[in-house]
Amino acid sequence: MQAVVLAAGKGTRLEPLTDDKPKPLVEVDGKPILKDVFDNLIDVGVDEIVVIVGYMKEKIIEKYADEYRGVPITYAHQREQKGLAHALLQAEPHIDDEFVLMLGDNIFRANLGDVVNRLREDRSDAAFLVEEVPLEEASRYGVCDTNGYGEIVRVVEKPDNPPSNLVMTGFYTFTPAIFHACHLVQPSDRGEYELSDAVNLLIQSGRTIDAIPIDGWRMDIGYPEDREEAEGRLQDE
């Protein structure tokens, strides 16, 4: 199983922590977020990692070089920050089959293996780990609509009026069909190529995407207070 990690962002909202390092190298409880991401991926059976780098990419490459815990790492460069769909396309030349996609700025202590196993069982074309958040916080994320079978039927990116409080967490499995969808995506009102738009194209083409409810917790390290909360949770375990 291959994995793609999106780690190209600067992390403006984490300044000054990101003045001298990219966001994925910000430390949470004494270790970089990216190390936690790699550990989670290897623990669910990933045996090859493609890392999309951008801002201060040389610091990530210098730190992890071409392998971590014996798992080979390949780097692809996103030269401009044009959104998650654009970032994911940089991995296309390196992906052979179904794969895991993970954002490089999240701390997970959750049932990631359930998501990977769903794709391995060939029961769907993709699977996302999702969680319920307070409705007032849902506008920070990609918000999911689901049907009675637990399948995602629509994703709305950072909506002003969220249609639900069920959101994507930053852990996904896909087949290479997602790349074709990413190529078709047009820039959003934010001027970015949104992963949620590519997901909607997949759904419209008849692909099935399972929503796997989170069992555990995760923190999107977007602000200094998120980092502090994640550290507190980790230290309490």
pLDDT in tens, 59-100: 999 999 999 999 999 999 999 989 999 999 999 999 999 999
Q: Please report the pLDDT score of residue 146 as a whole number.
A: 93
Confidence at 124, pLDDT banded by 50, 70, 90: confident
Report the pLDDT value the prediction gives residue 122, as an integer from 0 to 100.
72
Give the pLDDT of residue 190: 85
Q: What is the CATH number of the domain that holds 106?
A: 3.90.550.10
Answer whether residue 227 shows pLDDT above 90.
Answer: yes
pLDDT band at 11 (very low <50, low <70, confident <90, very high): confident
The mean pLDDT value of the chain amounts to: 94
pLDDT band at 181 (very low <50, low <70, confident <90, very high): very high
Total domains, the chain = 1
Find the domain containing 88 and state its range.
Answer: 2-236
The predicted model gives 183-205 an average pLDDT of: 94
| Three-class SS of the chain | CEEEEEECCCCHHHCCCCCCCCHHHCEECCEEHHHHHHHHHHHCCCCEEEEEECCCHHHHHHHHCCEECCEEEEEEECCCCCCHHHHHHCCHHHCCCCEEEEECCEEEECCHHHHHHHHHCCCCCEEEEEEECCHHHHHHCEEEEECCCCEEEEEEECCCCCCCCEEEEEEEEECCHHHHHHHHCCCCCCCCCCHHHHHHHHHHCCCCEEEEECCCEEEECCCHHHHHHHHHHHHHC
Rounded to an integer, the average pLDDT of 196-204 is 96
Decide if pLDDT at 123 tops 80: no
